[in-house]
Amino acid sequence: MEELRSLTDLLELHHVDTEIDRLLEDRQNLPALDDYRNADAALRRLTTERDAAADSLKEALRSLDKTSGELDITKAKADTEEMRLYAGGLSARDADYLRREVEMLRTQVTSMEDESIELMETLEAAEAESARLDADVAQAETTKQRLEASIKSEWASIDADIAVKEATKGDLVPLVDGAVLELYTELRNSREGQPVVGALVDGVCGACHLKLSAAEEHEARREHPPRCIHCRAILVP
């Protein structure tokens, strides 16, 4: 009778361990975890794109500042040389040389002005791209934080359920015969995820659900503890 009670407690322990395993499996495979991993990957990708866009924006600003500075200097030099030309007092040779230099400077000014316009358009596009990516990164961060909060909430609920199951397990373990408990632990370790204890009802093993003949059931009951001849699970008559 004592042995039967111990086996009954073992069956209950097996149910509790199975529930704990299920909860741990649920904890590791929350649907939100895949969403979180995707959100994290998206955030990292967008952050890289945003940083690259920020570098491009800085480079566009530097190029425009450099060109604008050179344009101002070239304009000023062209104006000065043109004033010298119009002031007169130069030899024909010097005047011709100065006239050609002014024309060259004016050509450079026109070219720089065109380049400045292109750079301003590039800068405008870079600013728009940088602003877009800033918004995308902010949205991705919000999504990731929302998923993280959801996962933590679900984990907390699962952990609470596991704690209850662990407390129940702690009450059951001392009730099971030491040798039987050792066998049970060995079977669980070697058959991860498979039932290792089953009730024997109407000659059917509750672990593998196969029928034992009368002779097979008699043979199974003679073992200590009773073992299914098909799957070798511990049987609880």
Q: What is the 3 state secondary structure string of 153-164?
A: HHHHHHHHHHHH
1.10.287.1490, 1.10.357.10, 1.10.1060.10, 3.40.50.620: CATH of 2-176: 1.10.287.1490
Dist CA 230 CA 237 (whole Å):
16
> What integer best gives the mean pLDDT of the chain?
93
On whether the CB atoms of residues 136 and 44 are closer than 8 A, the answer is no
Which residues are within 8 A (CB) of 151 and not within 5 positions of it... i.e. 6 or more apart? Answer: 30, 32, 33, 36
Query: Mean pLDDT across the stretch 33-46?
Result: 96
On whether the CB atoms of residues 228 and 212 are closer than 8 A, the answer is yes
On whether the CB atoms of residues 151 and 36 are closer than 8 A, the answer is yes
On whether the CB atoms of residues 12 and 181 are closer than 8 A, the answer is no
Four-residue CA torsion sign, 128, 131, 137, 138 = negative
Q: Is 89 left (phi over 0), alpha (psi -120 to 50) or beta?
A: left
Residue 132 has pLDDT above 60, yes or no: yes
Residue 4 has pLDDT above 90, yes or no: no
pLDDT greater at residue 104 or residue 89? 104
Domain ranges of the chain: 2-176
DSSP states along 55-86: HHHHHHHHHHHHHHHHHHHHHHHHHHHHHHHH
Q: Is the model's pTM score more than 0.75?
A: no
Per-residue confidence at 1, pLDDT binned at 50, 70, 90? very low
Q: Residue 2: its pLDDT value, please?
A: 53
Dist CA 119 CA 103 (whole Å):
24
Residue 74 has pLDDT above 80, yes or no: yes
Q: Residue 179: its pLDDT value, please?
A: 93
DSSP 205: E
Q: Residue 233: its pLDDT value, please?
A: 95
Q: Residue 84: its pLDDT value, please?
A: 84
Question: Nearest Cα to 225, choosing from 193, 191, 195, 198?
Answer: 198
Dist CA 130 CA 61 (whole Å):
13
In tens, the pLDDT along 174-233 reads 999 999 999 999 999 998 789 999 999 999 999 999 999 999 999 999 999 999 999 999
In tens, the pLDDT along 100-127 reads 998 999 999 999 999 999 999 999 999 9
